[in-house]
Structure 1
C-alpha cells in the first residue's frame, strides 16, 4: 500500500474509530471481540457515526434542504429505522424498499419513489398504501400510471425526473448529460409537462434531478444544485404555479482511495448561504420544499467489513492474504462494481496497529476467480490464520450490491453498534441451509 493509502486509513481511524492496545475499536467495542461473538465475515455499523454525519450535514444545509435517506445505499431494516427515527425522509427504488420503509415506521408521505423501470405491481402497491411522490421517468410510465391511478381511484403526487444538460454534470459516475435510461432529457421539459397536465388522474408537483454520484467537490455540488433551481423555476413557469418539491438528488461522496479528500462541509455551507438567498429572491419557488437524498455519505463511513485470515502464502514472489470474505459480500471493494480503474479501499489489520514492519500483499477471498481481490497493493504486518482484516468505508453499497449467491458461501452477519452495545440485525447464514431446499431424491 502506497503511503497516501496508509495515510487515508489512519485519517479515517482517527476520525471515526479508536485504537486500544493496538486493537481497532468501533463504537467503543473491540473488533476482535465482535468477530469472536458473531463470526466472520462480518459487517459492523456504528450508528453513532451515522448520527454525527447526519447532524453535520444538516448543520451545513442551514435549513436549505430536507434530508431523505437513499435506501439503496444500505437497505438493512434497522439502518432504515434509524434514519426514520432521526427524522429523515426516504428515497426508494423498488416495491421491496417501500415495504421496508413502511416496516421501519416511515409515513407514506415521507417516501419518494424513483427508478426507470417500475412495475405495475409496484405502482399499484404505492397507489393503494400511499406515497409522498412518484418520480416519472418516461412517457410510457406516464401512460401506465395514468391507467393504474384511474383504476385505483387515486390521484398520486408525481414529480419529473430530469436528465440534466451536460454542463450540470460532475462526480465519479455521471448519471445525466448524455443518453441514459434515467429520467426525461431536460430539453423535453415543456413537452413532458404538457403531457402530464392532460392527465387529471396525476398531480404534477415536483421535479427531481440527479447529475452524478461520489462527488467530493463542494463547488461541483453547488453548481448542480444551482442548476436544479433553474430547472425548477422553468418548470413552475410552464405550470403557472409554484412547485411543491424540488429534489436535488444525492451524490455526496466519501473518500475511498489514496488522494481522495472528504467533501468540505465548510465550503458547502458557504455555497448554501448563496443558494438560500437565490431561493428567497425567486418568486416562482416561494413555498417550494427542497430535498436532497444522500445515502453513501450518511452510512458509508459508519460501516466496516471484517474478514478472517485463512492463510498467508507466497506465490512466485508475491504475497497473498487469503480471507473468508470477498467480492461475494463486497463487490465494490473488489473493484467490480462499475469501476474502470481498480483501486484499493482502505484496508487495515484489526490488531497489531502499531506495527512498523509491513509486507506488500494482495488480500483475496475464497472464491475460485481472480476477480475476488479486495486489496491489490496493501501494506500489512505479517498475518496468520485467525487474524482479522478490516475494510473501512463499507457501510454503503456493500452486501446488498454484491453477488451473495456466488459459490453458495454463507451470508455474513450484520451487527449494529450503538451506545456501547452491539446487536445482531442479520444473522450469519449457514453453508448447509440451502441443502434442505433442494429436491434431493
Structure 2
C-alpha cells in the first residue's frame, strides 16, 4: 500500500496507514468493479500482518497474542490471523466453528460469554477448547455435561475484577457486571471447582477495551497480575493459562493519536518476568481484536443522489447505519463524531465543499458524516470510511428496512 496521506486539509489530523486510492495495491474504483457491487467492506491483510509484527516487536517475549474474533469474524480474516497469532478467542459456537476450521490446536481457543446455553457448552466441551466460566451455575452445568459426554472439560474462570480500565471505550470489569465472577467470590468458586471433574486452567481477567491512555492500561495490567496472584493461592491446581485481556485502542476521531507502546512494554517486561517466576507453568495471553483489524478496513458506498435543503448539501449513498452502525454514531457514542472519510475516487481535489453524507434509510440517524469538508461530491462517487475493519459488518442491523447487504473482501 502507498503511504502518502490524502491531501484534504480535513484529513491532516488522521494518522493514515494507507490512502483511499489503493487497497492491496489496487484502486478502490477497480476493487468496486471486482466486487461487482457497492456497498462493500475491504480488509487489507498486509496491515493486519504489520499490526501483529509491530506489537511483537514492541512487547516483551513470553506474551502470547490471541485474536478476539468478535471484532471481525470474516472466515478469511480469521484464517489469516490464526497464522500470525497464538490463538483465537470466541464468543459463540458459530465463531468457535470458524476458529476450529483454521486448523489450530483447540486448546488455543477460548470461549467467553455470559449466557452460554447447554447446547453451546456441550459443543465447546466436545471440541476440547477452554471455556471461560462466567458463573457458579455455569460451572456446575459444565461439570454435568462433561460427565455425560465422558470428557474432561477444560475451564478457566472469567473474573470481574475489583478495578476498572479507566477511560476505556467499554468497561468490562469493576462494579456490578454481567460478565464474569466477582473477584471476591472466586476463592469459593475455586474450592468447588476442585471438587468437580474439571480441568482448571486459570483466569481470564478483562477490564475494558478501546483505550488510548498508556497510564490507564499500565495501571490495569499491574492490578491484573496482582489479582491473579491472589486468586491463584486458592486454585485447585497450578495455573497454566492467564488471559490478561487487551484494551489497546486505535484512533478514530480528531485529537486522538496512535497509542504509544513504549511505556506499556516497559511496564509489562518486569510483570512477565515476575509471572514466569510465580506462575511458572502459566501461558500469559493478551487478547486483542480491534487493535489488529480496525485500521485494516474500509467501508465503501456509492453516491446515488445529491440534493440541497435550506442551504445545506446532502450526498445520499446506498450505504449507511444498517451496514456500519458505529460510523453512524449509534454504537456507543454519547456525542456523535465523524469517522475519517474521503471520496475514494477523488482524493486529490483542491476544490472542497461542506457536505453531509447520509444513507438511504428513512431515519435521521442514518449519517455517515455530518457537515464535513470534502471534494465536490457528485453522483457515482465512492465514499470511503476509514477505521472500518472492526465491529462494522457484523455489528450493524443489516436487515433494517430490508435494503441489500454489503459484501466483504480480503485483499
Fold match by TM threshold 0.5: yes
Preserved CA contact (<8 Å) 1:17 1:27? no
CA drift at 1:219: 2.1
Aligned to 1:159: 156
Preserved CA contact (<8 Å) 1:250 1:293? yes
Preserved CA contact (<8 Å) 1:244 1:288? yes
Aligned to 2:234: 238
Aligned to 1:26: 23
In the aligned structure 1, how far is the partner of 2:367 from the partner of 2:85? 38
CA drift at 1:377: 2.9
**Structure 1, gaps ≥5 residues long:** 418-441
In the aligned structure 1, how far is the partner of 2:127 from the partner of 2:134? 21
Aligned to 2:272: 276
SS of match in other structure, 1:401: coil
Work out which of the residue numbers 113, 119, 125 in structure 1 matches 2:123: 125
> Under a length normalisation based on structure 1, what TM-score does the superposition of the two structures give?
0.88
In the aligned structure 2, how far is the partner of 1:4 from the partner of 1:189? 53
Work out which of the residue numbers 165, 184, 190 in structure 2 matches 1:193: 190
Matched, 1:306 2:304: no
CA drift at 1:375: 1.0
CA drift at 1:383: 1.0
In the aligned structure 2, how far is the partner of 1:388 from the partner of 1:80? 27
CA drift at 1:360: 1.8
Aligned to 2:12: 7
After superposition, the Cα gap between the structure-2 partners of 1:107 and 1:259, relative to the gap in structure 1 and judged at 3 Å, is same
Matched, 1:139 2:136: yes
Work out which of the residue numbers 70, 93, 105 in structure 2 matches 1:95: 93
SS of match in other structure, 2:408: strand
Matched, 1:343 2:337: yes
Aligned to 2:391: 397
Aligned to 2:77: 79
Q: Equivalences for 1:23-422 in 2 at 5 Å?
A: 24-38=21-35, 39-131=37-129, 133-166=130-163, 168-199=165-196, 201-239=197-235, 241-280=237-276, 282-283=277-278, 285-417=279-411
Q: CA RMSD in A?
A: 1.7
Is the deviation greater in 253-262 or in 370-379? 370-379
Aligned to 2:5: none
4+ residue segments displaced more than 6 Å:
none
What do residues 28-47 of structure 1 show as CA deviations (whole Å, max 9, x unaligned)? 21011111221210110110
SS of match in other structure, 1:239: coil
What do residues 307-351 of structure 1 show as CA deviations (whole Å, max 9, x unaligned)? 101122111122211111111111111111122121111111113
CA drift at 1:261: 1.1
Preserved CA contact (<8 Å) 2:193 2:236? no
What do residues 30-70 of structure 1 show as CA deviations (whole Å, max 9, x unaligned)? 01111122121011011000000011111222223101100
Preserved CA contact (<8 Å) 2:298 2:387? yes
After superposition, the Cα gap between the structure-2 partners of 1:167 and 1:182, relative to the gap in structure 1 and judged at 3 Å, is closer
Preserved CA contact (<8 Å) 1:93 1:114? yes
After superposition, the Cα gap between the structure-2 partners of 1:130 and 1:5, relative to the gap in structure 1 and judged at 3 Å, is farther
CA drift at 1:168: 5.0
> Under a length normalisation based on structure 2, what TM-score does the superposition of the two structures give?
0.94
Preserved CA contact (<8 Å) 2:159 2:181? yes
CA drift at 1:352: 2.5
* Residues paired across the two proteins, number: 403
CA drift at 1:216: 1.2
Aligned to 2:18: 17
**Structure 2, gaps ≥5 residues long:** 1-7
Is the deviation greater in 40-49 or in 80-89? 80-89
Preserved CA contact (<8 Å) 1:60 1:268? no
SS of match in other structure, 1:246: strand
Preserved CA contact (<8 Å) 1:136 1:161? yes
Q: Which has the higher helix share?
A: 1
CA drift at 1:87: 4.1
CA drift at 1:173: 1.4
Preserved CA contact (<8 Å) 2:328 2:368? yes
SS of match in other structure, 1:274: helix
CA drift at 1:251: 1.9
SS of match in other structure, 1:334: coil
SS of match in other structure, 1:299: helix
Preserved CA contact (<8 Å) 1:4 1:259? no
SS of match in other structure, 1:8: coil
SS of match in other structure, 2:394: helix
